[in-house]
Amino acid sequence: MSFLTYLINGLSLGSIYAIIALGYTMVYGIAKMLNFAHGDFIMVGCYVIFTVSGALSGNSVVGIIVAIVLCTLLGITTEFIAYRPLRGAASPLAVLITAIGVSYLLENVALLIFGADIKSFTSVISWEGLSLAGGQLKIQGVTIVTIIISLVILLVLQLFINKTKQGQAMLAVAEDKGAATLMGINVNKTIMLTFAIGSALAAIAGALLCSAYPSLSPYTGAMPGIKAFVAAVLGGIGSIPGAMIGGLLLGIVEILSKTYISSQLSDAIVFGILVIVLLVKPTGILGKVIQEKV
């Protein structure tokens, strides 16, 4: 039963990575850029929930709604101010360096406002969970809810991309921005919508992350954000199902590594997987080889 418990916990952690990775993979797939500030959007969402819930005597539902709205606005504003002017830059490094700058900006603003002290985060999920096999297998409520929410998000995103006009516009922009513009698609609005969705997912991931691991600091989203990027690469960055698969696999590997190998080496194993994937199959599990135009 112990192994099954660890496996379920790995799926839960992997589901959080998957939700974060979906934000990475959507932005990269459509805008062809890596938003390395994405992990800090998680931190912003957590602090919003923490502040609003505290002000409303623990009303976490309102806190989550406000966090989703504010993170969405933050993503739109960041894309408009920091990334859009550099979209036609000669070097992609300009956007990458800007993203790192935005990340440090958000972390330092959080330090100024909330300080460096680690705060205790009250879980937004009050359900205690299930007890199975005569009490030998206990599954926490946050674990079950996290897995369910991640699967629902995957399904909704797949339906949105494949069945809606906006989703089809995203696919067109991802394929060829120039051709999409000639077809009457507003590329700027499509990319802005992508950032909005990704940032909203970051707020949801933050609520689940801090509920499962109830501590909060200005650096809360940094490491999960990097690991989610590894998950996106593992699954095939640009692929929505790939992000989900990569996140789940990475969560399982991390939990099992901490349990059976070493908690100190678990991060090294996670990043070692990234190196192996880049060497053996750079496109990831579900990634596609993209021919560069010259």
For residue range 247-270, list pLDDT tens digits in order.
Answer: 999 999 999 999 988 888 888 988
Tokens matching residue 197: 């969705």
Least confident range of 102-106, 189-193, 200-204, 275-279: 275-279
- Please tell me the distance from the alpha carbon of residue 284 to that of residue 261, in angstroms, as a whole number: 25
Tokens matching residue 137: 């297998």
Q: What is the mean pLDDT of residues 74-86?
A: 91
Q: What is the mean pLDDT of residues 67-72?
A: 96
- Please tell me the distance from the alpha carbon of residue 279 to that of residue 281, in angstroms, as a whole number: 6
Could you tell me which of 271, 200, 276, 253 has the C-alpha nearest to residue 26?
200
pLDDT in tens, 35-61: 889 999 999 999 999 999 988 877 889
Q: What is the mean pLDDT of residues 90-98?
A: 80
Confidence of residue 288 (pLDDT cuts 50, 70, 90): low
Whether the pLDDT of residue 293 is over 60: the answer is: no
Q: What is the mean pLDDT of residues 166-176?
A: 90
| Phi, psi torsion values for 120, nearest 5 degrees | -85, 125
Q: Strand 129-132 relative to strand 137-140: parallel, antiparallel, unpaired?
A: antiparallel
Beta bridge partners of 137: 132
> What per-residue confidence (pLDDT) applies to 294?
44
> What per-residue confidence (pLDDT) applies to 275?
86
Q: What is the mean pLDDT of residues 130-155?
A: 86
Confidence of residue 279 (pLDDT cuts 50, 70, 90): confident
> What per-residue confidence (pLDDT) applies to 57?
79
Could you tell me which of 253, 244, 271 has the C-alpha nearest to residue 19?
244
Q: What is the mean pLDDT of residues 265-287?
A: 84
Give alpha helix (H) positions in the chain. Answer: 2-31, 38-55, 60-78, 93-114, 141-163, 165-175, 177-182, 187-212, 222-235, 240-260, 266-280
Tokens matching residue 204: 């949801």
pLDDT in tens, 181-236: 888 899 999 999 999 999 999 999 999 999 999 889 999 999 999 999 989 988 88
Average pLDDT across the chain, whole number: 88
Residues contacting 150, CB < 8 A, separation 6+: 15, 16, 18, 19, 244, 247
In sign, the C-alpha dihedral spanning 284, 287, 289, 290 is negative
Whether residue 36 contacts residue 225, with contact meaning beta carbons closer than 8 Å, is answered with: yes
Per domain, the residue ranges of the chain are: 14-221
DSSP state of 83: I
Tokens matching residue 70: 């504010």
